[in-house]
Amino acid sequence: MRIVADENIPLLDAFFAEQGEIATYPGREIRREHLLQADALLVRSVTKVDAALLARTPVRFVGTCTIGTDHLDLPGLKAAGINVSSAPGCNARGVVEYVLSCLLTLSERTGLAWRNRRVGIIGAGEVGGRLATTLTALGVDCLLCDPPRAERGESGFVSLDELLAQADVITCHVPLNKQGPHATQHLLNAERLAKLAPGTWLINSSRGPVVDNQALAALLPQRQDLQVALDVWEHEPQVKLALAAQCALASPHVAGYSLDGKLRGTEQIYRAFCAHFQLPVARALSELAPSAGLASLTVDAQTPADWALSKALRLVYDVRDDDARFRAAMVGLIEGDEQIARRFDQLRKHYPLRRECSHLGLLSAAGAVTPLDWSAAGFSC
């Protein structure tokens, strides 16, 4: 069996080496000629996969080690008889930590207590649902908007217009759907962006085109009361530098880029691969994942809860680091420069090692380290 894969999939050899020969390429450079003798294609979000890419090749299984599938032509691949699997929820914890870090940072910069702000979550799936659970456990008032689920008769959701009118913070967690009754391309268009309440914080870590970037760039010079954090961009890896300069926080599509999330994605696709080819599941992430050690946070009965929370978040992940690296990489470039896309991809390819909150422990005054249970500690994640 021959497997063609994105070179940036972690633990690729550990999971798949026994299944056959593996050929790796940069994700954006995978071409049809690489697949002429392949049985399976394993990708991440940067590889556009459609029936034309796989035409007259032996490939009958495509696995994307990512939560999203907008880079896959699902109808075309289904019509061609190709089995497709994704990894829903694999990076949800990392994205939640990204949003929490954005809230903490914007709170410090504005002087507004983030726990007192009403958070509107657009999309209540794997990521949005986990975020809502986390914030609610932290005492934050949340509004949820998920039209497909509301249409199925589920309760607890508000309309998008209600959310925009009532939320102090808006965070997007929807897939990119370009058409249909629940299309999300330019969900936040010029008209809706203009309705944002004074002082709104807008966070997008879903897909770039969910927010009309051109409209947002035109609005921000007139609305300096808005605080915007963008991790995803229209036309990425190309980025509109004028918009990035106006954002409070800007990063290169790395909100869910924890190593743990990537590893879960690889394992989920490995299991789907084995099911498709009727092979035994011989590997498990619990056996293969590298140890992170356990960072510790010293707490006692007198430790203020808010201090402990902010310190814990910063030990796990600090969005300011990603923002600083992104801005430094774009220094000296001008709008439309081809180097923008290259540097964007390089930031992702050489992203620093990042683990999740499960690798943080609480150190008591007696010196005992207990792995942090975020839900039990009130920091549900």
**pLDDT tens-digit readout, 324-361:** 999 999 999 999 999 999 999 999 999 998 988 777 76
Pick from 261, 262, 269: which is nearest to 84 by CA? Answer: 269
Question: Beta strand pairing status for 369-371 and 360-363?
Answer: antiparallel
Banded model confidence at residue 375, pLDDT cuts 50, 70, 90: very low
Using the structure block, give the residue that is written with the tokens 């680091």: 321
Comparing 116 with 305, the larger pLDDT belongs to: 116
Q: What is the DSSP track for 30-98?
A: --GGGGTT-SEEEE-TT--B-HHHHTTS---EEEESSS--TTB-HHHHHHTT-EEE--TTTTHHHHHHH
Both tokens of 118, joined, read 């009403």
The pLDDT value recorded for residue 182 is 93
Banded model confidence at residue 376, pLDDT cuts 50, 70, 90: very low
Banded model confidence at residue 192, pLDDT cuts 50, 70, 90: very high
- Rounded Cα–Cα distance for residues 323 and 231 (Å): 9
The pLDDT value recorded for residue 303 is 63
As a whole number, mean pLDDT of residues 159-180 equals 95
The pLDDT value recorded for residue 176 is 94
Q: What is the DSSP track for 187-219?
A: SB-HHHHHTPPTT-EEEE-S-GGGB-HHHHHHH
The pLDDT value recorded for residue 380 is 41
> Are 333 and 327 in contact, with CB atoms under 8 Å apart?
no
Q: Residue 23 above 90 pLDDT?
A: yes
As a whole number, mean pLDDT of residues 287-305 equals 70
Catalytic residue ranges: 207, 236, 253
Q: Residue 300 above 70 pLDDT?
A: no
> Are 373 and 380 in contact, with CB atoms under 8 Å apart?
no
Model confidence pLDDT, tens digit, residues 235-275: 999 999 999 999 999 999 999 999 999 999 999 999 999 99
The pLDDT value recorded for residue 314 is 83
> Are 216 and 228 in contact, with CB atoms under 8 Å apart?
yes
Banded model confidence at residue 28, pLDDT cuts 50, 70, 90: very high
Ordered strands of the 40-43 beta sheet: 21-25, 2-6, 40-43, 61-64, 83-85
The percent of residues in the chain predicted with pLDDT above 70, rounded, is: 90
Banded model confidence at residue 305, pLDDT cuts 50, 70, 90: low
The pLDDT value recorded for residue 377 is 45
C-alpha 264, offset from chain centre: 13
Helices (H), the chain: 12-16, 51-54, 74-79, 92-110, 126-137, 147-151, 160-166, 190-194, 213-219, 241-246, 259-276, 285-288, 305-316, 319-329, 338-349
The pLDDT value recorded for residue 38 is 97
> Are 157 and 135 in contact, with CB atoms under 8 Å apart?
no
Integer angstrom CA distances of residue 68 from 24, 153, 167, 317: 21, 25, 26, 22
Question: Beta strand pairing status for 169-172 and 227-230?
Answer: unpaired
Question: Is the bond preceding residue 181 a cis peptide, omega within 30 degrees?
Answer: no
Domains of the chain: 2-86+258-288 (3.40.50.720), 92-250 (3.40.50.720), 295-371 (3.30.1370.170)
